[in-house]
Amino acid sequence: MYRKASITKEKNGRTAEKNQKIKERNNRRDARLTKENKLWMTEIICYLREKSLEEGRLEDIRQDITDMFLEAQERGETAEKVMGGDYKSFCEHVVESLGEHPEITREKRNFGLFIAWLPVLGLFSSGLWALFAWHRGRTWDLEQMAVTLVPLVVETAAAFLVKLGTRNLIPIPMDYWLRGKRKYLTLLCGLLFFTGEILFYIAGR
């Protein structure tokens, strides 16, 4: 099966010029592959490109796999045997051995932060809505109170459902906004919420 790709963090930040040189070298090495192995290599590269891998990392993988295929050829083995008969699983193993693209990891973290803060944003929005109702002199009743709670309920439910659906894919815990100094901002939003609801209740009765 596949040996872990020999790719280091230092390689990930290479210039486009260096990546192009590696690509040209890989093209020359691919020419030494048998016709069958070239076809497999084409399938592999197409599949890996669907993973949105950085060009430099893709060429590193390509170099690694080409080495494996060339060594297999010298032993009289086929690429299919090297891959264990399933090139897609083989490719998945390659990608897994690399870890995620840094940009994808960053995007996941940013999305995770947004989802984690949604309940607090809902708390803030509902508090403002209640203060607005109080300021406009609206009459308090259960229906009006329910209206002010819409942002809190909707955004909290959305955060819960997204977190439940993505499970461990998002690296931010849902109690992120209760940790460290962030809890003070959460407390302020909570204070705004309860102040707005209480003022609306007292003045609107």
- Cα(188)–Cα(1) distance, rounded to whole angstroms? 56
User: What fold is seen in the domain 9-98?
Assistant: c-terminal domain of poly(a) binding protein (1.10.1900)
Residue 103 pLDDT: 60
Q: What percentage of the chain carries pLDDT values higher than 90?
A: 18
Cα 166 to Cα 101, 158, 173: the distances in Å are 18, 12, 12
pLDDT at 188 over 90: yes
Mean pLDDT computed over every residue of the chain: 81
- Cα(26)–Cα(65) distance, rounded to whole angstroms? 10
Residue 175 pLDDT: 78
pLDDT at 9 over 80: no
Sketch the domain layout of the chain as residue ranges. Answer: 9-98, 102-204
| Terminal-to-terminal C-alpha distance of the chain | 73
Q: What is the pLDDT of residues 116-146, one digit of tens each?
A: 889 999 999 999 999 998 888 888 888 888 9
